[in-house]
A and B are shown apart, each in its own frame.
Chain A
């Protein structure tokens, strides 16, 4: 069974940093594109970042470019999102999601980031 389990969320002050993790199991992690998608409280879904199977190709939404870094450790079957210079508007549940037959077939349960003074 495909499983994606996010962790690392919490409360951070504006300007702070945090690293999210997504532990994968049940599939060959190193073969798939993986994304981060976020959802602000009571709001819709927004794509944040993606990484290719070997980690050599990364892309970011304009809203996080230069502040967030996506990476992966295929030996540990884990995806990361390093978030720096956090803003109040980054407050959201962050989901990792895997592609198959198109975008976002499988989703994790999400981890909540709150950026507040």
Chain B
């Protein structure tokens, strides 16, 4: 299975400041169809996961534009341009290029 490695695992943030989470895969996530199936999910405390980003950079409907995804091959990044209080939670990357789909360990974002 493809191993997804996130860093950092804990991210203290300052409200209004940018934040960035890294995700690395053990294999390239470029599919034979040319797409890169890398998703980002947010899980607020006590809630279900919510998909923020699909195909490494496409934002889901209703997701604030302060969230952006970038990267290629095996290295990907989720950026929050200005952190708001509602962004506290755990963020997961997930690959869907290779079977089975696999998730990173999660990055806990908390206000410092």
**Is the CB–CB distance between A102 and B37 below 8 Å?**
yes
Interface size on B, residues (CB 8 A): 22
* Contacting residues of chain B (85-100) with chain A, CB-CB under 8 angstroms: 92, 94, 96, 99-100
Q: Secondary structure at chain A's binding surface: helix, strand, loop or mixed?
A: loop
Q: Which of A19-27, A41-49, A69-77, A83-91 contacts B (4 or more CB under 8 A)?
A: A41-49
Nearest opposing residue in chain B for A101, CB measure: B54
Chain A: interface residue count, which band? 10 to 19
Chain B nearest CB from A53 CB (Å) reads: 18
The residues of A that contact B103 with a CB separation of less than 8 Å are: 44-47
Q: Which of B17-25, B43-51, B64-72, B73-81 contacts A (4 or more CB under 8 A)?
A: B43-51
**Within 8 Å of chain B (Cβ to Cβ): is A105?**
yes
The residues of B that contact A97 with a CB separation of less than 8 Å are: 49
